[in-house]
Every structure is written in C-alpha cells, then in structure tokens.
Chain A
Amino acid sequence: MNSWLIILNSSTHAIKAQRFLARKGYKSSIERVSRGNLGGCKSGLRVYEDTANICRMLSDIGIICREIIEG
C-alpha cells in the first residue's frame, strides 16, 4: 500500500490534522520525525491517498504541510 508522510509543525498540529481528516473519512497515523534537514524534530502524518487534496484541506484549517515524503 502506497503511503506518504506529511511533515507538520508540531504534535498539536498533527493531532488536529488527524482528527480533521478522520471526520472527512481519511485514515492517517502520527509519526515523530527527527531529521536535521527538516529543521530537527517534527511531527508527521502518514496518509495513504490523495496527498495534494489533503494538504489543501489542511491549509484551509490553518495547518501548513511542510514537506511530503513518499514511502
């Protein structure tokens, strides 16, 4: 199953995003990401479909998708 990790600012943003997506019928899970090239510790949201649309919807509720990592 294809998946993408959407990098978000913090765990608060990740939980808000996850709950928002669940209400829209999207499955996701929260992962902790620690990479220097991402600016250090971040929270990521693993999703399985429709990343462009998901990022657009998250942007509408004030959540910025910092980066999308495939796999």
Chain B
Amino acid sequence: MIYMDNAATTYPKPAMVLNTAAKAMRKYGGNPGRSGHKISEKTAIEVFNVREKIAALFGAEVENCIMTLNCTHALNLAIKGIMKSGGHIITSNLEHNSVIRPIHALEKLGCKYSIAEVCESDEATTENFKKLITPSTKAIAIMIASNVTGQILPYKKIGQLCKERGICFIADGAQACGVIPINIKDDNINILCSAGHKGLYGPMGTGILVSDGKFAIDTIIEGGTGSNSFDILQPDFMPDRLEAGTPNASGIIALGAGIDFIKRRGISNIYAHDMILCEQFCKRISRIGGVIIYERECAYKRVPIVPFNIIGMNSSDLAQRLSERGFALRGGMHCSYLAHKKLGTSDQGVVRFSPSIMNTLDEVDLLAKTIRKIAYNGSRK
C-alpha cells in the first residue's frame, strides 16, 4: 500500500520515532510530575526535553508549551479558554470542524461569532477580517493552511491586525507545523495549536498548544496535576493549569524524536520535496480527460495538498477504487464542510493527495497511471 494521506496523519513514521516510542514504553513508565521516585523523575525529564524542543521550534517559553491529545483538543482549550467569559470571535470560511464546532458551541454561553471570507488575494482576505472586528471582538481563530485546498492564509497579517487591536490570535497549525517555519513571536501568534502526528511526525494521540503567555487561558477541564494537591482550585501556573490528568508520556517522548527528524531533514527541504511531488502529480493528472484539480490556477501560497476529482464519480468511490489498487488517499469532506461549500464540492467531496517526505516521484507516477486507468474505465461505463 502506498500511503498519500499525510494531511490526516503522517505514515509511515520515521524509524527514530518508532524506536523512541518503544524505548519510552520500556524505560519511561513512571507518571511524570507525580511521584518523587526515580522512574517518575526520569519520565518528567524526558517530557521536559520535548517541551524544550517545542519551545525552540516555535519560539516560546518551555512552560507555555502544553501537551494535548491532538490539535482538536488544543483548539478547544484555546478557543473556549479565551472565550469562556463571553465576547465576539472571528473565524474564516475555510475552517476545519475543530475550529468552527467549538466556536459554534460557544453560542450557548452567549458568545457571538462572524465568518470572514478567504480570497485568493491576501490583502482582500485581511481586509475581510478587519471589517468584522467590533469593540467586543476578543479573538480571531483561523487555520494557517487549509486541509482541503492547501491554501496558506495570510496569518502573519491577521496576527498583526490582532496585535494592533489587543485581540488574541489563535492559529491552527495542523497542516503547517513541520511543513513551513512558524515562530509565534515573528508571526504575531498568541496561541498556536497543532497535531503532533502530522507534519511533526509524532504518534497519534499527541498535540500541542503553544502560548506566548499574553492571554490568560481559562480551564475547560480540571483535575490532577501532581501540584498544589491541597487546593481545590486548578493551579494558576502553566503548564499544569492546562494539563489535568496523566499525559501520554510515551507519545510525547516519541513526538520529540519526530521533531528531531524534521530538524535533521530541514523544514524547507521537506517542504520543497513535498511540493515537487505535488507539482509532478498535477502535471501528470492534468493531462487525463475528466480529471479536475481544484484551485490549481490560484496564485496563493500553499502547503503540499492537491484536491482533485474525476467528473461523474463521487470522491469516496474514487478513494475506494484507489485503495483497492494499493493507494491510500482520503475522499469525502475532510471534516471541513465550510471549505467544501466554498469550493463548490458539497455534493461529491474531493480526493486529497497529500504526500510526505517518505513518498517518491515513482510513487506519484504510479498513482497518476492508476488514476488514468480509473478515469478511462469510468468514462466507458
């Protein structure tokens, strides 16, 4: 099976991630930050080492790097933690459900939200956000890059807009972290959320929330932290405030190896490799009759994602046929109904090609040939 569904989760994982995960399960089995014995201490140090790597990668303080279960968990902590006391929040019309659903759920608490239209031009998009800001706007929460089209939103400009107005800027880096360089200080991001298991090549069950510490994040879950145990209140210091319950220590430690992997390879090298595969893929399949590639002519910057379809074939059917022929790609709606409404693909969805550093040009050529056969057979029916 050739795996090209890396926007969902990267696979296969680098050998160093697999080895570190196994080692962590064997050697670091104590509950970090809870007990005083050596096994617990060793685990706490390993988890701390990963926090340091995250802090260095994104330009944050180590205690402001929060370990979560996934990007959705991080986004819920950020969005609900900032908006708990009410107010207005703005998001975009490309968002994943991990952003739009928590925002919509906040309506029950009396929060209001607006959706800004993303355009091909960064200036027009930024202007659309600017127009929606009101005196009660407390946050803007957007994806850095779309998981459906790959479009990179003008997140730095929107961050600047937030900075000038004292608004909290929450960035969903699920498709961007490890793929393009992100630095929360340089990019004006107050809270960065990401999966650990996508571009950072860690295991599933890992995510991160990285804060610049400027906006207090209220808790949405409370519980044991191994600190202040005599106090009925959740600790007011980070990272404990947002890390109730036993963490996925072995997953976190393996995520550290994923970060080491991308640093060794170089984020810009990984991006260049993945984009070459995307270009090759587009070149090959654009010659096939009946194949549509969405927004390929748009001039916006993008991450390595190519949405496509065969005319007259549902995207899930196409993904199924590809699976039967040995290719793992995702069809359907990608948990992003907003993006599909914008793209005009609400009925059939799209198939998403999303390579990783593990894929090769030969694999891309094989995939294109298979799509050609499916398209040819489909048109004869």
* Nearest-Cβ distance from residue B248 to partner chain A, whole angstroms: 16
Q: Is the CB of B228 within 8 A of A11?
A: no
In the complex, which residues 35-71 of chain A have their Cβ closer than 8 Å to any Cβ of chain B?
A: 36, 38-43, 62, 64
> In the complex, what's the smallest C-beta–C-beta distance from B223 to chain A, in angstroms?
14
On whether the beta carbons of A12 and B240 are closer than 8 Å, the reply is: yes
Whole-angstrom distance between the alpha carbons of A32 and B212 in the complex? 28
B297 at the binding interface (Cβ < 8 Å): no
Beta-carbon contact of B229 and A40 below 8 Å: yes
Whether the Cβ atoms of A40 and B240 lie closer than 8 Å is no
Asked whether A15 and B61 contact (CB < 8 A) given A10-B33, A40-B228, A40-B231, the answer is: no
| Complex interface: stretch among B40-48, B136-144, B148-156, B343-351 | B40-48
CA distance A16 to B231 in the complex (A): 24
Given A10-B237, A10-B240, A31-B36, verify A15-B227 contact (CB < 8 Å).
Answer: no
Instruction: Please name all residues of chain B whose beta carbon is closer than 8 Å to the beta carbon of A10 when the two chains form the complex.
Output: 33, 225-227, 235, 237, 239-240
In Å, the complex CA distance between A10 and B34 comes to 9
User: What are the interface flags for A1-43 relative to B under an 8 Å C-beta threshold, 1 for contact and 0 otherwise?
Assistant: 0000000011111011000000000000011101010111111
Q: Are the CB atoms of A12 and B63 closer together than 8 Å?
A: yes
A9 lies within 8 A of B226 (CB): no
CB distance from A39 to the nearest CB of B (A): 5
Is A9 within 8 A of B230, CB to CB? no
Given known pairs A10-B227, A40-B231, the reply for A32 and B63 (CB within 8 Å) is: no
Q: B247 to nearest A CB, angstroms?
A: 11
Q: Identify 13 new A-B residue pairs, CB closer than 8 A, beyond the known A12-B62, A32-B35, A39-B229.
A: A9-B237, A10-B225, A11-B41, A11-B227, A13-B63, A13-B237, A15-B48, A30-B41, A31-B36, A39-B231, A41-B34, A41-B227, A42-B227
Residues of B within 8 A of A (CB): 32-36, 41, 44-45, 48, 51, 61-63, 213, 225-231, 235, 237, 239-240
Interface residues of A (CB under 8 A from B): 9-13, 15-16, 30-32, 34, 36, 38-43, 62, 64
